[in-house]
Every structure is written in C-alpha cells, then in structure tokens.
Amino acid sequence: MVVARDIMTPGAECAGVNDTLVDAARKMRDLDVGALPICGEDNRLAGMVSDRDIVVKCIAEGGDPSQTLVGSLAEGKPVTIGADDDVREALDVMERHQVRRLPVIDGHDLVGIVSQADVARALEPVEVGETVAEISED
C-alpha cells in the first residue's frame, strides 16, 4: 500500500499567521510554489494560503498585502491527510474538499505536502481522471 508519506514533498515551509501577504508571496517565489501551509505561533497548522488567495481575497478587494496578515486568510479547520493514510484516501479528500494540495500530518506535526500531481503519479490513470476533473471544477 502506498501512503501519503511515500509520495509527499517533505519539509514543507510555513507562512506564519503574523507574516504579511507580501512575506508569504516572497516565500512562494523563493520556493517556487503556489501555496504554503499557514502555521500558528505554536507551529500548529492553521490553514493554507495560495497565490490565488492573495490576489482574490486581498488585492482584488482593495487590500494592502504589505499590511494584511496571512492569518486573516486562514478559514476554518485545515483539510489534511495523515502521513500513513493510503493515497486513495488523499484522492478522496481532495475530491470532497476540491483542493489540489493537502498538508500531511503525523500526529499534530506538519511533515509535508501532497499535491494532486503527486497522487496522480502514484495511482493508475483510470483512478485519477474523474477526481482530477472534479477537483478542477471551480
């Protein structure tokens, strides 16, 4: 059985809840990623922030990304997958919540990120096709 830990990108870097959106955007640029986990002061996962979130939820609304804190975009309980959960479960969670990236948790610790592409590479194309279409609907 292939589990999330087997396919994840380890060592995910967080944007802190008290970082500005400009700080988060620079970190995304430097890491060449489109999203970052949001971690609280206690290092616990508080959510995810994407480059799209910054544009749609701040800039398009007339907000100032140099003054807006990352934590203001953390909404609700983060959608995650356990490190030892089967990749098929990851695919199911992605489809149910229409997300392309899942933080991977071991206990309460963030240990990595699983992307839609990671899951697609780990499973047979027939298992992935419909779910990718579902996730991609906006």
Measured distance CA(108)–CA(127) in Å, rounded: 29
Tens-digit pLDDT profile for residues 99-133: 989 999 998 889 999 998 888 888 777 666 665 66
Please report, in angstroms and rounded to a whole number, the separation of the first and last CA atoms in the chain.
31
What pLDDT was estimated at residue 123? 77
What pLDDT was estimated at residue 124? 73
Burial degree of 87 (CB within 10 A; 0-12, 13-18, 19+) = buried
Alpha helices in 3-86 (DSSP H): 4-7, 21-31, 51-57
Q: What is the helix (H) or strand (E) element at residue 125, kind and residue range?
A: helix 125-136
Nearest CA-CA partner of 119 in 98, 138, 101, 103: 101
What pLDDT was estimated at residue 28? 96
What pLDDT was estimated at residue 114? 95
Measured distance CA(27)–CA(29) in Å, rounded: 5
Question: What are 34's two structure tokens?
Answer: 């489109």
What pLDDT was estimated at residue 119? 85
Task: Report, as ranges of residue numbers, the positions in the chain whose pLDDT lies below 50.
Answer: none
What pLDDT was estimated at residue 51? 95
Provide the 3-class DSSP secondary structure of residue 113: strand
What pLDDT was estimated at residue 137? 63
What pLDDT was estimated at residue 67? 97
pTM attached to this predicted model: 0.83
Going from the N-terminus, what domains does the chain have, and what CATH number goes with each? Answer: 4-136 (3.10.580.10)
Q: Which residue, chain included where needed, has tokens 């203001």?
A: 72
